[in-house]
Amino acid sequence: MTQNIQRTEILYESDFVAWCERTVAQLKAKDVDNLDFDNLIEEIESLGKSERREMRNRLLVLIAHILKRMYVNSPENFNGWEVTIVEQRKQLKGLLKDSPSLKPYLTQIFPEVYTDALDIVAVEYKQTEFPDTWQFDFEIDSLLVNKYWEAN
């Protein structure tokens, strides 16, 4: 058994896809005695981190484009910004559908992500004045549908 575990760990280092296939087969067969638990745990933990990282990145792009659309007077860019807003919202909705437990995380990271988005747009549009804080509630349902620029 120890030799099999060592071979599995070597497989993890040398051929990740083969390791995944073997691990899936072992899980389906309920062969827990030969599972590479350390690497399996690490991979499952990284999946959660990856989902959170994707949510953060998509939220950053969404907020930056909402800020541009609301405060930058550049009508020739409005359509492109709105397309990006629609795309990011669709992707965020998909993430939340697949992992509803991310909803509180979005609320938790919103202030920091807003600050990061503000830093980006402020450099890109030096002549535009952006608000230091988000001027609306950041309830997820509103964030994923409101056309804030139409209220202005």
**pLDDT tens sequence across 126-139:** 999 999 999 988 78
Q: Report the C-alpha gap between 104 and 77 in whole angstroms.
A: 32
pLDDT at 91 over 90: yes
pLDDT at 24 over 60: yes
What is the per-residue pLDDT for 148? 92
Q: What is the residue extent of each domain of the chain?
A: 1-35, 49-151
Please report, as a single letter, which amino acid is at residue 139. Answer: E
At 75, is the secondary structure helix, strand, or coil?
Answer: helix
**Interacting residues of 23 by C-beta distance below 8 A, sequence separation 6+:** 8, 35, 36, 40
pLDDT band at 152 (very low <50, low <70, confident <90, very high): low
pLDDT in tens, 34-88: 899 999 999 888 888 999 999 999 999 999 999 999 999 999 999 999 999 999 9
Contact 121, 70 (CB under 8 A): no
CB burial of residue 63 (10 Å; 0-12, 13-18, 19+): buried
